[in-house]
């Protein structure tokens, strides 16, 4: 093979390599840059913080709920009744995501949220005011009579906290239960029915107990 032919083959290879590199640079694979814009790192996890932000979460029976992005660790919640009451407040973004719509009635909207291992709570957004009430360890709701029952903290010896979230009336229920960080662990079943709270739980001797607690106005 002559030296001239070797030089020609060598130049052809260099040209081909440069051409391939040029094509690769002008036509990047996929849309990785778009992914980086929408996916954000939070507590060492790659999660899409904005998937449900700037969204209308609820628009039903003249009631609305909207999430609006504010910053990486907070968002604005707007709620109310169309052409009547409009409120807004700022809430925190938790690593587990945004609050989930649990239920709504003519008086309020309920959002539930996880806040870590064995940690959960509820936001009650009232229509009569701009107030957002926060309840730790919610276990049962009466959406007809506006009651919420929450687990008690073992340190306080309270078995259950019951509240009419509309009027603010509260009741603490003291009962013996199997020791846990909160009484929700000891409860087998719990539900409201016509201003009565039905509870089945294990006491400190690990025996099943059942009782009906009536709301006294």
- Do 71 and 113 belong together in one domain? yes
Could you give the 3-state DSSP secondary structure of residue 52? Answer: coil
Domain edge (last residue) among 136, 167, 193: 136
- Do 56 and 130 belong together in one domain? yes
- Considering the domain boundaries, does residue 5 fall inside one? no
Q: How many CB atoms lie within 10 A of CB 58?
A: 15
Picking from 145, 137, 142, the residue whose alpha carbon sits closest to that of residue 191 is 142
- Considering the domain boundaries, does residue 66 fall inside one? yes
C-alpha span between 10 and 41 (Å, rounded) = 47
Q: What pLDDT is recorded for position 216? A: 56
Domain edge (last residue) among 136, 152, 168: 136
- Considering the domain boundaries, does residue 21 fall inside one? no
- Considering the domain boundaries, does residue 156 fall inside one? yes
Picking from 121, 71, 124, 78, the residue whose alpha carbon sits closest to that of residue 93 is 71
Q: What pLDDT is recorded for position 194? A: 85
- The count of domains in the chain is 2
Domain edge (last residue) among 90, 112, 136: 136
- Do 208 and 157 belong together in one domain? yes
Q: What is the CA radius of gyration of the chain?
A: 29
Q: What pLDDT is recorded for position 187? A: 96
Taking the alpha carbons at both ends of the chain, their separation in whole angstroms is 106
- Considering the domain boundaries, does residue 20 fall inside one? no
Contact criterion met (CB below 8 Å) for 108 and 146: yes
Domain interval for residue 205: 138-217
* Contact partners, residue 102, CB within 8 Å, separation at least 6: 110, 111, 112, 122, 141
- Considering the domain boundaries, does residue 215 fall inside one? yes
- Do 107 and 143 belong together in one domain? no
- Considering the domain boundaries, does residue 90 fall inside one? yes
* Run of H or E including 3: helix 3-26
- Do 104 and 151 belong together in one domain? no
Report pTM: 0.72
- Do 86 and 163 belong together in one domain? no
DSSP character for 117?
Answer: T
- Do 73 and 93 belong together in one domain? yes
- Do 94 and 156 belong together in one domain? no
- Do 114 and 162 belong together in one domain? no
C-alpha span between 40 and 59 (Å, rounded) = 28
Q: How many CB atoms lie within 10 A of CB 59?
A: 11
- Do 71 and 118 belong together in one domain? yes
- Do 132 and 55 belong together in one domain? yes
Mean pLDDT by 10 residues, the chain (217 residues): 46 41 32 30 33 73 86 91 87 85 92 85 94 96 96 87 95 93 94 94 96 80
Q: What pLDDT is recorded for position 217? A: 52
Q: What pLDDT is recorded for position 212? A: 96
- Do 55 and 115 belong together in one domain? yes
């Amino acid at each position: 093979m002559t030296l001239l032919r070797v030089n020609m083959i060598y130049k052809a290879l260099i040209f081909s390599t440069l051409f391939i590199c040029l094509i690769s640079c002008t036509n990047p694979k996929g849309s990785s840059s778009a992914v980086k814009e929408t996916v954000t790192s939070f507590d060492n996890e790659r999660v899409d913080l904005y998937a449900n932000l700037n969204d209308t979460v609820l628009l039903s029976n003249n009631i609305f709920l909207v999430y609006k992005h504010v910053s990486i660790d907070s968002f604005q919640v707007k709620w109310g009744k169309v052409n009547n009451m409009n409120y807004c407040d700022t809430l925190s973004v938790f690593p587990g995501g945004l609050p989930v719509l649990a239920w709504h009635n003519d008086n309020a909207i309920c959002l539930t949220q996880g806040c870590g291992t064995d940690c959960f709570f509820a936001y009650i957004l009232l229509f009569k005011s701009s107030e957002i009430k926060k309840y730790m360890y919610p276990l049962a709701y009466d959406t007809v009579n506006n009651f919420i029952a929450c687990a008690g903290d073992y340190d306080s010896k309270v078995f259950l906290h019951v509240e009419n979230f509309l009027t603010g009336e509260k009741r603490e229920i003291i009962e013996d239960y199997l020791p846990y960080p909160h009484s929700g662990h000891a409860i087998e079943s719990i539900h409201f029915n016509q201003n009565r709270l039905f509870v089945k739980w294990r006491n400190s001797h690990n025996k099943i107990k059942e009782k009906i607690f009536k709301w006294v106005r």
